[in-house]
Amino acid sequence: MNNNIDHTDPAKDMNTERGNGGETHQRAGDDTKVLTTQQGVAISDNQNSLKAGARGPTLLEDFVLREKINHFDHERIPERIVHARGSAAHGYFELTESLEEYTTAKILTETGKQTPLFTRFSTVAGNKGSKDTPRDVRGFAVKMYTEEGNWDLVGNNMPIFFIQDAIKFPDLIHAVKPEPDRGFPQAASAHDTFWDFVSLSPETMHNLIWLMSDRALPRSFSMMEGFGIHTYRLLNKEGKSTFFRYHWKPVAGVQSLIWDEAVKISGADPDYNRRDMYEAIENGMYFEWELGVQLFTEEEANEFPFDHLDATKLIPEELVPVKIIGKMVLNRNPDNFFAETEQVAFCPSHIPPGIDFSNDPLLQGRLFSYLDTQLSRLGSPNFVQIPINAPKCPFANNQQDGHMQMQVPKTRVLYEPQSLDLDRPRESPQKGFNSFHEKLDDGVKGRIRAESFADHYSQPRMFYRSQTPAEQAHIASAYAFELGKVDTAHVRTRVLSHLINIDEDLANRVANALGMELPEAAEPAAPVQDMDTSKPLQTIGRTPKSLKGRLVGILVAEGSNHEQVKKFEDAINAQGGMVKIVAPSKEVKLDDNTRIQADERVAGAPSVFFDAVVSIIMPDQAKKLAEDSSTLDWFTDAYVHCKAIAYCGATDEFILSKLPVEKDEFVTPLAKLDSFVENAKSRLWEREPKVRDLA
């Protein structure tokens, strides 16, 4: 609660003057930096261009104007084709358990050492100016500045991908992006071209059901898991290979929004997840994950009921447990969004010695694609010299020149072998990167997909049947919503034919919601297996009961009880939660004459921003707020989104009584503070079927 409001305007003390046209000039003093051009020339007037007379033409000789406008005209670089909208933070990785038995990579063998890193979260489909909360896959990319070179762990918040071969990536993205003849919808898969493509590509079914699940609507970046999608190799000092897949496990637990919240948040605050991370880190509430690996041999992989080189398949944790080996902490926001978050360049091909690739055909294509993309976006092969991309370990090579070369090699020799400069770098078989000496089979070269990639339904079936009833309802409702946006009837029918193979109950729920009859099931390319269910695939079933990292909104107005507000604020903070004060106006006076500044006005902070809400208002203010639609929505949305509500007597008498709010166990009076705090740690999912139609 901010009761220290300072209206003092510092501009009055910044040597401010008015010019002839009333424009504001702020002059540098003896202790103030002087504004200069890029060449270091001091600027005398930053408000007016050079003119031939007060009302005459502007002169071309004004190099200050030309430089300023020229730089502005070139401020933007091409945005990423996918993952354009991103947010990032600095932090560190600390290894807690050595993998020396499996790898020579120091980042995975030297415990206790903190390695700096930079992590970027993103959405896949939308452009840079889209929203944070669409139904979409989230990118989860980590750049570790190891002492053996940069390691880029370029993953997603889902453990699998839509396609099995990189040659299909342009088709997938062209299908999900805005349709080219109309330029919409933005950041949305709910349209004909996407569903036409996926319904003709059964390999997409597994990632598709994840996309329809709550995993596609993360509550916070800190509540997302991260996955590498592909199988990689670890190589030990004997050259022995062990396969691995990596997992980032959020310390805050997995939690998602529900679709109605995501839709409303998109309109109220398109920067919702970005703002959440920025404010949390600024307030010292750092984001943390544990790094885990699934380790397995080639012999073990041969016994899996799927092909581990198929990026549309996950490895259930019950089959290969996740071994926790370290932690990541994000503890510092970028100093400059463009220089760091926008210019950071991740490439899966950036790996240190001791780590290697598998033959996953999707991974193999990414090894080319990402580097090619960085050359296009950042304009030069020298993109690694941008500070956010530069290694923090010593590096030396014989590369030269190129656009924006910022290094100055002081040698006549930029080649090798050579004998003219004994200090130039040379290769090192002992320290250098070595690829695994793989014995290849006697197969025939050709454009062939392995038969072991043919099962497209067993893992989606496992995923759906592993979910809680509430999550299954959300998945079915998501399919119904998305297909409700598809106008081509045969595409909807084709999707239903695939859903029958995944789960007939799911297919029936979606068909009933759309008013359609079930078609015949699609012909599977391989027998569909009934795999064991896996609890780690759940979201709601794994969301921890905790206030840590959660945000509670407290509604106040003129005359609200200061002591009561403080009591709730202290109780929430004690549990690791955060509080924002919401009021009808930006400043309000409480009952003890304390004037406070609200964090948000109720008209601009709908309850979808909060994990739980409290109302502490006086009768006269409650009467006024009862006539305000945004206030009524504030309570209604909190209720229909299954959140905890604490209310005072005036709120009950004048507001809740007008609304379809049932006083269940999560709607409590202020006197039940402890109950509210406990309720605020989760949601009452049993309420959901009473407040909305679910497929």
Inform me whether the pLDDT recorded for 441 exceeds 80. no
- Residue 598 falls within a domain, yes or no? yes
Distances (CA, A) of 32 to 27, 220, 615: 9, 40, 47
- Do 476 and 521 belong together in one domain? yes
Least confident of 217-231, 357-371, 506-520: 357-371
Q: Shortest CA distance to 574 belongs to which of 600, 552, 597?
A: 552
- Do 592 and 626 belong together in one domain? yes
CA distance 199 to 161: 15
CA distance 370 to 351: 13
- Give residues with Cβ within 8 angstroms of 586, minimum separation 6: 597, 598, 601
Sequential DSSP letters for 151-194: EEEEEESSSS-S-SSGGGHHHHHHHHSPBTTTTB-TT---SHHH
- For 565-624, the pLDDT digits (tens) are 999 999 999 999 999 999 999 999 999 999 999 999 999 999 999 999 999 999 999 999
Instruction: Please give the structure tokens belonging to residue 436.
Output: 């695994």
- Residue 495 falls within a domain, yes or no? yes
Residue type, 97: E
- Do 504 and 629 belong together in one domain? no
- Final residue before a domain boundary, out of 537, 569, 591: 537
Q: Shortest CA distance to 156 belongs to which of 136, 176, 178, 173?
A: 136
Indicate the pTM of the whole model.
0.93
Element (H, E) at 634: helix 629-640
Q: Which residue has the higher pLDDT, 5 or 220?
A: 220
Instruction: Tell me the residue range of the domain where 678 lies.
Output: 551-691
- Residue 422 falls within a domain, yes or no? no
Binding residues: 80, 120, 169, 366, 370, 377
CA distance 292 to 324: 4
Inform me whether the pLDDT recorded for 443 exceeds 80. no
If pLDDT is split at 50, 70 and 90, which confidence band does 3 have? confident
- Residue 24 falls within a domain, yes or no? no
CA distance 579 to 597: 13
Give start and end residues of each alpha helix (H) in 81-236: 169-176, 192-199, 205-211
35: left (phi over 0), alpha (psi -120 to 50) or beta: beta
Residue 218, beta-bridge partner list:
256
Task: State the average pLDDT for the chain.
Answer: 95
Inform me whether the pLDDT recorded for 110 exceeds 90. yes
**SS3 track for 398-461:** CCCCCCCCCCCCCCCCCCCCCCCCCCCCCCCCCCCCCCCCCCCCCCCCCCCCCHHHCCCCHHHH
| Residues 552/613, Cβ–Cβ less than 8 Å | yes
Q: Residue 525 sits in a domain of what CATH number?
A: 1.20.1370.20
C-alpha radius of gyration, the chain, whole number: 29
Percent of the chain clearing pLDDT 90 (strictly above) = 85
CA distance 417 to 424: 10
CA distance 167 to 196: 18
Q: Residue 283 sits in a domain of what CATH number?
A: 2.40.180.10
- Do 476 and 599 belong together in one domain? no
Residues designated catalytic? 83, 156
- Do 218 and 342 belong together in one domain? yes
CA distance 262 to 132: 9
Q: Taking the CA of residue 143 as centre, how many other CA atoms within 13 Å lie in the half-sphere pointing to its CB? A: 24
**Upstream peptide bond of 185 is cis (omega within 30 degrees of 0):** yes
CB atoms within 10 A of CB 661: 19
- Do 357 and 220 belong together in one domain? yes
Residue 117, beta-bridge partner list:
91, 144
- Give residues with Cβ within 8 angstroms of 111, minimum separation 6: 95, 96, 97, 98
Inform me whether the pLDDT recorded for 427 exceeds 90. no
- Do 521 and 652 belong together in one domain? no
Sequential DSSP letters for 342-357: IT----TT---TTEEE
The DSSP code for 51 is B
- For 679-690, the pLDDT digits (tens) are 999 999 999 999
Residue 58, beta-bridge partner list:
51
Instruction: For the chain, report the end-to-end CA distance as a whole number of angstroms.
Output: 42
Mean pLDDT across the stretch 321-336?
Answer: 98
- For 537-563, the pLDDT digits (tens) are 999 999 999 999 999 999 999 999 999
CA distance 595 to 63: 50
If pLDDT is split at 50, 70 and 90, which confidence band does 272 have? very high
| Residues 494/200, Cβ–Cβ less than 8 Å | yes
Please give the pLDDT value at position 438: 86
Phi, psi of 276 (to 5 degrees): -60, -45
- Do 191 and 330 belong together in one domain? yes
- Do 512 and 579 belong together in one domain? no
SS3 assignment, position 584:
coil
Residue type, 627: E
CB atoms within 10 A of CB 82: 18
Distances (CA, A) of 576 to 223, 351, 483, 572, 667: 15, 37, 40, 7, 22
Where does residue 426 rank: exposed (0-12), middle (13-18), buried (19+ CB within 10 A)? Answer: exposed
- Residue 270 falls within a domain, yes or no? yes
- Residue 303 falls within a domain, yes or no? yes
Residue 138, beta-bridge partner list:
123
Element (H, E) at 505: helix 504-514
- Residue 412 falls within a domain, yes or no? no
- Give residues with Cβ within 8 angstroms of 379, minimum separation 6: 77, 403, 404
Please give the pLDDT value at position 397: 87
CB atoms within 10 A of CB 305: 12
CA 644 to chain centre: 26
Please give the pLDDT value at position 677: 98
- Final residue before a domain boundary, out of 480, 511, 537: 537
- How long is the chain? 695
Give the angle 659-664-666 at the CA atoms, nearest 5°. Answer: 100
- For 351-397, the pLDDT digits (tens) are 999 999 999 999 999 999 998 888 889 989 999 999 999 999 988 88
Distances (CA, A) of 142 to 82, 119, 151, 328, 448: 17, 4, 8, 10, 33
Distances (CA, A) of 321 to 246, 247, 324, 461: 11, 11, 9, 21
Inform me whether the pLDDT recorded for 442 exceeds 70. no
| Residues 111/86, Cβ–Cβ less than 8 Å | no
- Do 458 and 561 belong together in one domain? no
Inform me whether the pLDDT recorded for 444 exceeds 80. no
Residue 457, beta-bridge partner list:
none
- Final residue before a domain boundary, out of 385, 413, 434: 385
What is the strand order of the sheet 578-583 is part of?
600-601, 578-583, 551-555, 612-615, 644-647, 667-669
If pLDDT is split at 50, 70 and 90, which confidence band does 485 have? very high
Least confident of 20-29, 334-343, 582-591: 20-29
CA distance 614 to 598: 14
Phi, psi of 240 (to 5 degrees): -75, 140
Q: Shortest CA distance to 628 belongs to which of 606, 613, 644, 600?
A: 606
- Please write down the long-range contacts of 410-418, taking CB distance under 8 Å and 24 or more positions apart: none
Element (H, E) at 68: helix 63-73
- Do 187 and 329 belong together in one domain? yes
- Give residues with Cβ within 8 angstroms of 495, minimum separation 6: 195, 198, 199, 479, 483
Q: Residue 564 sits in a domain of what CATH number?
A: 3.40.50.880
- For 69-99, the pLDDT digits (tens) are 998 888 889 999 999 999 999 999 999 999 9
- Do 570 and 501 belong together in one domain? no
Binding residues for heme: 80, 120, 169, 366, 370, 377
How does strand 24-26 pair with strand 149-156? unpaired
Phi, psi of 70 (to 5 degrees): -60, -45
- Residue 343 falls within a domain, yes or no? yes
- For 36-75, the pLDDT digits (tens) are 999 999 999 999 999 999 999 999 999 999 999 998 888 8
Count of domains for the chain: 3
Percent of the chain clearing pLDDT 70 (strictly above) = 100
